[in-house]
Structure 1
Amino acid sequence: MRKQLYVIHDGIPTEAIIRSYTSQDFKGLIAVQSECFPPPYPEELWWNEEQLTEHITRFPEGALCCEIGGRVIGSMTGLIVDMTQEHEAHSWEQITDSGYIRNHNPNGDTLYVADICVIPEYRKAGIGKWLLQSMYETVVHLGLKRLLGAGRMPGYHRCAAEETPEQYFDKVIKGIYKDPVITFLLRCGRTPVGIAADYLDDEESCNYAALMEWRNPFL
Protein backbone atom coordinates (compact mmCIF):
# COMPACT_ATOMS: atom_id res chain seq x y z
CA MET A 1 0.00 0.00 0.00
CA ARG A 2 1.30 3.43 -0.93
CA LYS A 3 -0.64 6.49 -1.99
CA GLN A 4 -0.07 10.22 -2.07
CA LEU A 5 -2.69 12.79 -1.21
CA TYR A 6 -3.13 16.29 0.17
CA VAL A 7 -4.44 17.22 3.59
CA ILE A 8 -5.18 20.70 4.91
CA HIS A 9 -2.86 21.52 7.80
CA ASP A 10 -3.08 24.98 9.37
CA GLY A 11 -5.04 26.08 6.31
CA ILE A 12 -2.33 24.99 3.87
CA PRO A 13 -2.55 22.02 1.46
CA THR A 14 0.14 19.60 2.61
CA GLU A 15 1.32 16.49 0.81
CA ALA A 16 0.95 13.27 2.80
CA ILE A 17 1.83 9.67 2.06
CA ILE A 18 -0.10 6.72 3.42
CA ARG A 19 1.83 3.49 3.08
CA SER A 20 2.67 0.18 4.68
CA TYR A 21 5.14 0.56 7.50
CA THR A 22 8.38 -1.42 7.69
CA SER A 23 11.10 -2.14 10.24
CA GLN A 24 12.75 1.15 9.26
CA ASP A 25 9.73 2.98 10.69
CA PHE A 26 9.78 1.37 14.13
CA LYS A 27 11.51 4.29 15.86
CA GLY A 28 9.08 6.76 14.30
CA LEU A 29 6.05 4.62 15.16
CA ILE A 30 7.07 4.39 18.80
CA ALA A 31 7.63 8.16 18.82
CA VAL A 32 4.06 8.61 17.56
CA GLN A 33 2.81 6.44 20.42
CA SER A 34 4.77 8.53 22.94
CA GLU A 35 3.18 11.74 21.63
CA CYS A 36 -0.31 10.29 21.50
CA PHE A 37 -0.13 8.64 24.92
CA PRO A 38 2.10 10.77 27.16
CA PRO A 39 2.54 10.23 30.92
CA PRO A 40 0.81 9.19 33.07
CA TYR A 41 -0.06 6.65 30.34
CA PRO A 42 2.30 3.69 30.97
CA GLU A 43 5.23 3.61 28.55
CA GLU A 44 5.14 -0.19 28.51
CA LEU A 45 1.77 -0.01 26.72
CA TRP A 46 3.23 1.74 23.69
CA TRP A 47 3.99 -0.45 20.68
CA ASN A 48 7.33 -2.21 21.08
CA GLU A 49 9.61 -3.56 18.37
CA GLU A 50 8.54 -7.16 18.95
CA GLN A 51 4.88 -6.26 18.40
CA LEU A 52 5.68 -4.16 15.34
CA THR A 53 7.72 -7.02 13.89
CA GLU A 54 4.71 -9.30 14.27
CA HIS A 55 2.51 -6.71 12.51
CA ILE A 56 4.66 -6.44 9.40
CA THR A 57 5.36 -10.17 9.29
CA ARG A 58 1.90 -11.62 9.89
CA PHE A 59 -0.29 -9.03 8.17
CA PRO A 60 1.63 -6.26 6.35
CA GLU A 61 -1.59 -5.15 4.61
CA GLY A 62 -2.92 -4.16 8.02
CA ALA A 63 0.14 -2.15 9.07
CA LEU A 64 -0.25 1.41 7.76
CA CYS A 65 1.36 4.72 8.58
CA CYS A 66 1.05 8.32 7.43
CA GLU A 67 4.17 10.28 6.59
CA ILE A 68 4.50 14.03 6.07
CA GLY A 69 7.82 15.60 5.16
CA GLY A 70 9.63 12.34 5.82
CA ARG A 71 8.21 12.08 9.36
CA VAL A 72 5.74 9.42 10.51
CA ILE A 73 2.86 11.30 12.13
CA GLY A 74 0.20 8.60 12.45
CA SER A 75 -0.43 4.89 12.15
CA MET A 76 -3.14 2.26 12.01
CA THR A 77 -2.85 -1.45 12.67
CA GLY A 78 -5.29 -4.28 12.10
CA LEU A 79 -5.58 -8.04 11.90
CA ILE A 80 -8.03 -10.49 10.37
CA VAL A 81 -10.31 -12.43 12.69
CA ASP A 82 -13.19 -14.84 12.23
CA MET A 83 -16.17 -13.61 14.25
CA THR A 84 -19.13 -15.92 13.86
CA GLN A 85 -21.24 -13.79 16.19
CA GLU A 86 -21.42 -10.06 15.59
CA HIS A 87 -21.78 -9.33 19.31
CA GLU A 88 -19.19 -11.87 20.47
CA ALA A 89 -17.82 -10.67 23.82
CA HIS A 90 -14.15 -9.81 23.84
CA SER A 91 -11.57 -7.45 25.28
CA TRP A 92 -8.83 -5.61 23.41
CA GLU A 93 -6.21 -7.97 24.83
CA GLN A 94 -8.15 -11.06 23.73
CA ILE A 95 -8.96 -9.94 20.20
CA THR A 96 -5.49 -8.51 19.41
CA ASP A 97 -3.36 -10.99 21.36
CA SER A 98 -2.26 -8.06 23.55
CA GLY A 99 -1.17 -6.22 20.42
CA TYR A 100 1.05 -9.01 19.05
CA ILE A 101 -1.66 -10.24 16.58
CA ARG A 102 -0.29 -13.79 16.63
CA ASN A 103 -3.95 -14.85 16.38
CA HIS A 104 -4.24 -13.24 12.93
CA ASN A 105 -6.39 -15.54 10.78
CA PRO A 106 -5.92 -15.12 7.02
CA ASN A 107 -9.12 -17.13 6.49
CA GLY A 108 -11.26 -14.87 8.67
CA ASP A 109 -13.98 -12.54 7.47
CA THR A 110 -13.39 -9.39 9.53
CA LEU A 111 -10.55 -6.86 9.56
CA TYR A 112 -10.30 -5.81 13.19
CA VAL A 113 -8.77 -2.46 14.18
CA ALA A 114 -6.10 -2.93 16.83
CA ASP A 115 -5.02 0.70 16.97
CA ILE A 116 -5.23 4.06 15.23
CA CYS A 117 -3.39 7.16 16.39
CA VAL A 118 -2.28 10.55 15.02
CA ILE A 119 -0.01 12.98 16.82
CA PRO A 120 -1.84 16.03 18.28
CA GLU A 121 -0.20 18.47 15.85
CA TYR A 122 -2.03 16.86 12.89
CA ARG A 123 -5.33 15.74 14.42
CA LYS A 124 -7.38 18.40 12.63
CA ALA A 125 -5.91 17.61 9.22
CA GLY A 126 -8.07 14.54 8.53
CA ILE A 127 -5.24 12.01 8.83
CA GLY A 128 -7.30 9.57 10.91
CA LYS A 129 -10.09 9.62 8.35
CA TRP A 130 -7.65 8.88 5.53
CA LEU A 131 -6.05 6.02 7.47
CA LEU A 132 -9.49 4.51 8.00
CA GLN A 133 -10.39 5.03 4.34
CA SER A 134 -7.21 3.20 3.37
CA MET A 135 -8.13 0.29 5.63
CA TYR A 136 -11.60 0.19 4.06
CA GLU A 137 -9.85 -0.20 0.73
CA THR A 138 -7.89 -3.11 2.20
CA VAL A 139 -11.18 -4.75 3.23
CA VAL A 140 -12.43 -4.47 -0.37
CA HIS A 141 -9.11 -5.58 -1.85
CA LEU A 142 -9.02 -8.73 0.29
CA GLY A 143 -12.72 -9.48 -0.19
CA LEU A 144 -13.50 -9.34 3.53
CA LYS A 145 -17.01 -8.88 4.91
CA ARG A 146 -16.30 -5.86 7.07
CA LEU A 147 -14.01 -3.75 9.22
CA LEU A 148 -14.78 -3.83 12.92
CA GLY A 149 -13.30 -1.97 15.85
CA ALA A 150 -14.13 -0.67 19.30
CA GLY A 151 -14.07 3.06 20.00
CA ARG A 152 -13.60 4.67 23.38
CA MET A 153 -16.52 6.56 24.91
CA PRO A 154 -14.60 9.24 26.83
CA GLY A 155 -17.71 11.25 27.67
CA TYR A 156 -19.51 8.36 29.36
CA HIS A 157 -18.02 8.86 32.84
CA ARG A 158 -19.91 12.15 33.17
CA CYS A 159 -23.29 10.40 33.17
CA ALA A 160 -22.42 6.83 34.17
CA ALA A 161 -24.30 7.17 37.46
CA GLU A 162 -27.56 7.88 35.65
CA GLU A 163 -27.32 5.96 32.37
CA THR A 164 -26.14 2.62 31.05
CA PRO A 165 -23.43 2.64 28.38
CA GLU A 166 -26.07 1.54 25.86
CA GLN A 167 -28.24 4.54 26.74
CA TYR A 168 -25.28 6.90 26.44
CA PHE A 169 -24.27 5.41 23.08
CA ASP A 170 -27.84 5.72 21.80
CA LYS A 171 -28.00 9.38 22.80
CA VAL A 172 -24.71 10.11 21.05
CA ILE A 173 -26.10 8.49 17.89
CA LYS A 174 -29.24 10.65 18.22
CA GLY A 175 -27.19 13.82 18.70
CA ILE A 176 -28.25 14.43 22.29
CA TYR A 177 -24.69 13.94 23.55
CA LYS A 178 -21.45 14.66 21.77
CA ASP A 179 -18.56 12.23 22.13
CA PRO A 180 -15.32 13.01 20.25
CA VAL A 181 -14.38 9.41 19.45
CA ILE A 182 -17.80 8.07 18.50
CA THR A 183 -18.60 11.19 16.47
CA PHE A 184 -15.29 10.85 14.61
CA LEU A 185 -16.06 7.23 13.75
CA LEU A 186 -19.54 8.15 12.53
CA ARG A 187 -18.00 10.78 10.26
CA CYS A 188 -15.74 8.06 8.86
CA GLY A 189 -18.68 5.88 7.87
CA ARG A 190 -18.76 3.47 10.79
CA THR A 191 -22.10 2.19 12.06
CA PRO A 192 -23.07 0.87 15.53
CA VAL A 193 -22.92 -2.82 16.41
CA GLY A 194 -23.02 -2.90 20.20
CA ILE A 195 -21.19 -2.26 23.46
CA ALA A 196 -18.18 -4.18 24.78
CA ALA A 197 -17.78 -4.35 28.56
CA ASP A 198 -14.37 -4.61 30.26
CA TYR A 199 -12.79 -3.86 26.89
CA LEU A 200 -9.84 -1.78 28.05
CA ASP A 201 -8.62 -0.19 31.27
CA ASP A 202 -10.14 3.22 30.50
CA GLU A 203 -11.42 5.34 33.37
CA GLU A 204 -13.18 7.92 31.18
CA SER A 205 -15.13 5.22 29.35
CA CYS A 206 -15.68 3.20 32.56
CA ASN A 207 -13.93 0.34 30.70
CA TYR A 208 -16.67 0.19 28.03
CA ALA A 209 -16.19 0.61 24.30
CA ALA A 210 -18.52 1.10 21.34
CA LEU A 211 -18.29 -1.60 18.68
CA MET A 212 -18.67 -0.04 15.24
CA GLU A 213 -18.29 -1.58 11.80
CA TRP A 214 -17.93 -0.70 8.12
CA ARG A 215 -19.48 -3.21 5.72
CA ASN A 216 -17.90 -4.06 2.39
CA PRO A 217 -20.43 -2.60 -0.09
CA PHE A 218 -19.34 -5.02 -2.84
CA LEU A 219 -20.41 -8.19 -0.99
Structure 2
Amino acid sequence: MYWNEQYVYDGEKTLPVVLRNYTEADFEGMIRIQRECFPPPFPQELLWNEAQLRNHITLFPEGAICASVDGKLAGSITGLRTTFDPAFPEHRWEDVTDDGYIRTHNPDGETLYIVDISVSPQFRKLGLGKLLMQAMYQTVIELKLERLLGGGRMPGYQQVADEMTPESYIKRVTAGELRDPVISFLLSCGRKPIHIVPNYLDDEESLNYGVLMEWKNPFR
Protein backbone atom coordinates (compact mmCIF):
# COMPACT_ATOMS: atom_id res chain seq x y z
CA MET A 1 0.00 0.00 0.00
CA TYR A 2 1.09 3.58 -0.62
CA TRP A 3 2.14 6.15 2.03
CA ASN A 4 4.36 9.17 1.39
CA GLU A 5 4.92 12.15 3.69
CA GLN A 6 6.50 15.39 2.49
CA TYR A 7 6.13 19.19 2.50
CA VAL A 8 4.90 21.78 0.02
CA TYR A 9 5.38 25.54 0.00
CA ASP A 10 2.50 28.00 0.27
CA GLY A 11 4.46 31.19 -0.30
CA GLU A 12 7.09 31.15 2.45
CA LYS A 13 5.09 28.74 4.60
CA THR A 14 5.60 24.98 4.51
CA LEU A 15 2.63 22.64 4.79
CA PRO A 16 2.75 18.89 5.53
CA VAL A 17 1.35 16.64 2.82
CA VAL A 18 0.46 12.96 3.03
CA LEU A 19 -0.16 10.89 -0.09
CA ARG A 20 -1.86 7.57 0.66
CA ASN A 21 -4.47 5.11 -0.55
CA TYR A 22 -7.94 6.50 0.01
CA THR A 23 -10.54 4.66 2.07
CA GLU A 24 -14.28 4.73 2.63
CA ALA A 25 -13.79 7.48 5.21
CA ASP A 26 -12.65 9.77 2.36
CA PHE A 27 -15.67 9.29 0.09
CA GLU A 28 -17.67 12.31 1.22
CA GLY A 29 -14.70 14.62 0.84
CA MET A 30 -13.80 13.24 -2.58
CA ILE A 31 -17.32 13.78 -3.90
CA ARG A 32 -17.22 17.37 -2.59
CA ILE A 33 -13.87 17.99 -4.30
CA GLN A 34 -15.20 16.71 -7.62
CA ARG A 35 -18.11 19.15 -7.45
CA GLU A 36 -15.62 21.96 -6.81
CA CYS A 37 -13.36 20.87 -9.67
CA PHE A 38 -15.98 20.16 -12.33
CA PRO A 39 -18.92 22.60 -12.10
CA PRO A 40 -21.50 22.79 -14.91
CA PRO A 41 -21.42 22.66 -17.92
CA PHE A 42 -19.33 19.56 -17.11
CA PRO A 43 -21.84 16.65 -16.96
CA GLN A 44 -22.64 16.20 -13.28
CA GLU A 45 -23.55 12.55 -13.80
CA LEU A 46 -19.84 11.92 -14.45
CA LEU A 47 -18.87 12.95 -10.91
CA TRP A 48 -18.03 10.23 -8.38
CA ASN A 49 -20.63 8.39 -6.37
CA GLU A 50 -20.06 6.08 -3.42
CA ALA A 51 -20.59 2.89 -5.44
CA GLN A 52 -17.81 3.85 -7.85
CA LEU A 53 -15.42 4.81 -5.06
CA ARG A 54 -16.11 1.56 -3.23
CA ASN A 55 -15.17 -0.35 -6.38
CA HIS A 56 -11.92 1.60 -6.62
CA ILE A 57 -10.71 0.59 -3.18
CA THR A 58 -11.96 -2.99 -3.63
CA LEU A 59 -10.89 -3.86 -7.19
CA PHE A 60 -7.61 -1.93 -7.40
CA PRO A 61 -6.65 -0.18 -4.15
CA GLU A 62 -3.13 0.41 -5.49
CA GLY A 63 -4.68 2.80 -8.02
CA ALA A 64 -6.71 4.77 -5.48
CA ILE A 65 -4.52 7.53 -4.02
CA CYS A 66 -5.41 10.78 -2.28
CA ALA A 67 -3.50 13.78 -0.91
CA SER A 68 -4.17 15.61 2.33
CA VAL A 69 -2.67 18.96 3.32
CA ASP A 70 -2.19 19.62 7.00
CA GLY A 71 -4.74 16.87 7.66
CA LYS A 72 -7.40 18.11 5.20
CA LEU A 73 -8.32 16.09 2.10
CA ALA A 74 -7.17 18.09 -0.92
CA GLY A 75 -7.20 15.85 -4.00
CA SER A 76 -7.10 12.37 -5.46
CA ILE A 77 -6.05 10.30 -8.44
CA THR A 78 -7.60 7.01 -9.57
CA GLY A 79 -6.42 4.37 -12.02
CA LEU A 80 -7.01 0.84 -13.24
CA ARG A 81 -4.98 -1.75 -15.12
CA THR A 82 -5.80 -2.50 -18.72
CA THR A 83 -4.28 -3.75 -21.96
CA PHE A 84 -3.42 -1.23 -24.66
CA ASP A 85 -2.57 -1.78 -28.30
CA PRO A 86 -0.93 1.35 -29.80
CA ALA A 87 -2.13 0.23 -33.23
CA PHE A 88 -5.74 0.69 -32.11
CA PRO A 89 -5.69 3.69 -29.78
CA GLU A 90 -9.23 5.03 -30.19
CA HIS A 91 -11.73 4.41 -27.42
CA ARG A 92 -14.15 6.19 -25.12
CA TRP A 93 -13.47 7.01 -21.49
CA GLU A 94 -16.71 5.32 -20.45
CA ASP A 95 -15.75 2.05 -22.15
CA VAL A 96 -12.27 1.75 -20.65
CA THR A 97 -13.34 2.85 -17.16
CA ASP A 98 -16.78 1.23 -17.09
CA ASP A 99 -18.26 4.70 -16.51
CA GLY A 100 -15.93 5.09 -13.55
CA TYR A 101 -16.95 1.83 -11.85
CA ILE A 102 -13.70 0.15 -13.10
CA ARG A 103 -15.22 -3.33 -13.34
CA THR A 104 -13.09 -3.41 -16.51
CA HIS A 105 -9.95 -3.56 -14.34
CA ASN A 106 -7.63 -6.30 -15.62
CA PRO A 107 -5.19 -7.50 -12.93
CA ASP A 108 -2.86 -8.69 -15.71
CA GLY A 109 -2.97 -5.48 -17.75
CA GLU A 110 0.39 -3.93 -18.64
CA THR A 111 -0.94 -0.36 -18.63
CA LEU A 112 -2.04 1.78 -15.69
CA TYR A 113 -4.90 3.87 -17.05
CA ILE A 114 -5.76 7.12 -15.28
CA VAL A 115 -9.48 7.36 -14.63
CA ASP A 116 -9.47 10.75 -12.92
CA ILE A 117 -7.34 13.34 -11.13
CA SER A 118 -8.89 16.10 -9.03
CA VAL A 119 -7.41 18.79 -6.77
CA SER A 120 -9.60 21.15 -4.75
CA PRO A 121 -9.32 24.75 -6.10
CA GLN A 122 -8.28 26.05 -2.67
CA PHE A 123 -5.17 23.83 -2.77
CA ARG A 124 -4.09 24.48 -6.34
CA LYS A 125 -0.68 26.07 -6.98
CA LEU A 126 0.79 23.85 -4.26
CA GLY A 127 1.92 21.28 -6.81
CA LEU A 128 -0.41 18.54 -5.55
CA GLY A 129 -1.39 17.45 -9.06
CA LYS A 130 2.23 16.66 -9.87
CA LEU A 131 2.71 14.84 -6.58
CA LEU A 132 -0.36 12.69 -7.26
CA MET A 133 0.86 11.93 -10.78
CA GLN A 134 4.31 11.02 -9.44
CA ALA A 135 2.66 8.65 -6.97
CA MET A 136 1.09 6.86 -9.92
CA TYR A 137 4.42 6.74 -11.76
CA GLN A 138 5.87 5.09 -8.67
CA THR A 139 2.99 2.61 -8.73
CA VAL A 140 3.74 1.80 -12.39
CA ILE A 141 7.35 1.10 -11.46
CA GLU A 142 6.46 -0.92 -8.35
CA LEU A 143 4.05 -3.11 -10.34
CA LYS A 144 6.54 -3.39 -13.24
CA LEU A 145 4.02 -2.12 -15.79
CA GLU A 146 4.90 -0.79 -19.24
CA ARG A 147 3.26 2.59 -19.10
CA LEU A 148 0.83 5.04 -17.57
CA LEU A 149 -1.85 6.21 -20.00
CA GLY A 150 -4.93 8.38 -19.90
CA GLY A 151 -7.03 10.74 -21.95
CA GLY A 152 -6.61 14.42 -21.18
CA ARG A 153 -9.38 16.94 -21.61
CA MET A 154 -8.48 19.93 -23.80
CA PRO A 155 -10.84 22.60 -22.42
CA GLY A 156 -9.05 25.48 -24.10
CA TYR A 157 -9.84 24.12 -27.55
CA GLN A 158 -13.41 25.42 -27.60
CA GLN A 159 -12.11 28.99 -27.71
CA VAL A 160 -10.06 28.46 -30.88
CA ALA A 161 -11.94 25.65 -32.62
CA ASP A 162 -12.99 27.95 -35.48
CA GLU A 163 -9.34 28.73 -36.19
CA MET A 164 -7.57 25.34 -36.03
CA THR A 165 -7.98 21.58 -35.96
CA PRO A 166 -7.54 19.59 -32.72
CA GLU A 167 -4.20 18.33 -34.11
CA SER A 168 -2.96 21.88 -34.72
CA TYR A 169 -4.11 22.95 -31.27
CA ILE A 170 -2.24 20.15 -29.50
CA LYS A 171 0.85 20.78 -31.64
CA ARG A 172 0.89 24.43 -30.56
CA VAL A 173 0.23 23.57 -26.92
CA THR A 174 3.06 21.03 -27.00
CA ALA A 175 5.35 23.65 -28.57
CA GLY A 176 4.49 26.10 -25.79
CA GLU A 177 2.79 28.56 -28.17
CA LEU A 178 -0.59 28.07 -26.46
CA ARG A 179 -1.50 27.01 -22.95
CA ASP A 180 -4.28 24.57 -22.11
CA PRO A 181 -5.30 24.14 -18.44
CA VAL A 182 -5.18 20.34 -18.63
CA ILE A 183 -2.80 19.40 -21.45
CA SER A 184 -0.11 21.87 -20.37
CA PHE A 185 -0.30 20.47 -16.84
CA LEU A 186 0.08 16.89 -18.11
CA LEU A 187 3.05 17.91 -20.26
CA SER A 188 4.68 19.44 -17.17
CA CYS A 189 4.21 16.09 -15.42
CA GLY A 190 6.19 14.28 -18.11
CA ARG A 191 3.28 12.92 -20.13
CA LYS A 192 3.54 12.79 -23.92
CA PRO A 193 0.59 13.15 -26.35
CA ILE A 194 0.31 10.14 -28.64
CA HIS A 195 -3.18 10.33 -30.19
CA ILE A 196 -6.22 12.60 -30.39
CA VAL A 197 -9.47 10.72 -29.81
CA PRO A 198 -12.81 12.10 -31.07
CA ASN A 199 -15.90 11.47 -28.94
CA TYR A 200 -13.68 10.51 -26.01
CA LEU A 201 -15.86 12.16 -23.37
CA ASP A 202 -19.06 14.20 -23.29
CA ASP A 203 -17.29 17.49 -22.65
CA GLU A 204 -18.52 20.71 -24.20
CA GLU A 205 -15.32 22.66 -23.50
CA SER A 206 -13.18 20.07 -25.31
CA LEU A 207 -15.75 19.55 -28.07
CA ASN A 208 -15.71 15.92 -26.89
CA TYR A 209 -12.06 15.41 -27.87
CA GLY A 210 -9.51 13.75 -25.62
CA VAL A 211 -5.75 13.50 -25.98
CA LEU A 212 -4.12 10.21 -25.06
CA MET A 213 -1.11 11.11 -22.91
CA GLU A 214 1.50 8.48 -22.12
CA TRP A 215 4.34 8.05 -19.61
CA LYS A 216 6.54 5.04 -20.24
CA ASN A 217 8.19 3.13 -17.41
CA PRO A 218 11.89 4.08 -17.83
CA PHE A 219 12.92 0.76 -16.26
CA ARG A 220 11.14 -1.24 -18.99
TM tier, smaller:
over 0.9
| Letter of the 2:101 counterpart | Y
Which is worse superposed, 28-37 or 106-115?
Answer: 28-37
Summarize the alignment of residues 50-65 of structure 1 with structure 2, pairs less than 5 Å apart. Answer: 50-65=51-66
SS of 1:155's partner is helix
- 1:106-140 Cα offsets, whole Å, 9 max, x none, are 11110000000000011100000000000000000
Whole-angstrom CA distance in 2 between matches of 1:187 and 1:86: 26
Which is worse superposed, 200-209 or 92-101?
Answer: 200-209
Whole-angstrom CA distance in 1 between matches of 2:89 and 2:42: 28
Which is worse superposed, 25-34 or 118-127?
Answer: 25-34
| Letter of the 2:153 counterpart | R
Whole-angstrom CA distance in 2 between matches of 1:87 and 1:108: 16
- CA shift, 1:157, in A, is 1.4
Aligned match of 1:173: 174
Whole-angstrom CA distance in 1 between matches of 2:81 and 2:163: 37
- CA shift, 1:9, in A, is 2.1
Confirm or deny: 8 A CA contact 1:9 1:122 kept in the other structure. no
Summarize the alignment of residues 1-219 of structure 1 with structure 2, pairs less than 5 Å apart. Answer: 1-39=2-40, 41-85=42-86, 87-219=88-220
| Letter of the 2:184 counterpart | T
- 1:30-86 Cα offsets, whole Å, 9 max, x none, are 121122123454543321110011000000000000012322110000000001235
- CA shift, 1:141, in A, is 0.2
- What is the number of equivalent residue pairs in this alignment? 219
- CA shift, 1:101, in A, is 0.2
Whole-angstrom CA distance in 2 between matches of 1:200 and 1:112: 15
Whole-angstrom CA distance in 2 between matches of 1:115 and 1:25: 16
Confirm or deny: 8 A CA contact 2:43 2:202 kept in the other structure. no
| Letter of the 2:209 counterpart | Y
| Percent identity of paired positions between Structure 1 and Structure 2 | 54
Confirm or deny: 8 A CA contact 1:87 1:194 kept in the other structure. no
Alignment gaps of 5+ in structure 2: none
Q: What is the Cα-based RMSD across aligned positions, in Å?
A: 1.3
- 1:85-111 Cα offsets, whole Å, 9 max, x none, are 355211110110000000100111100
SS of 1:178's partner is coil
| Letter of the 1:215 counterpart | K
Q: Give the TM-score normalised by structure 2.
A: 0.95
Confirm or deny: 8 A CA contact 1:81 1:111 kept in the other structure. yes
* Structure 1 residues 210 and 42, CA gap change in structure 2 (3 angstroms): closer
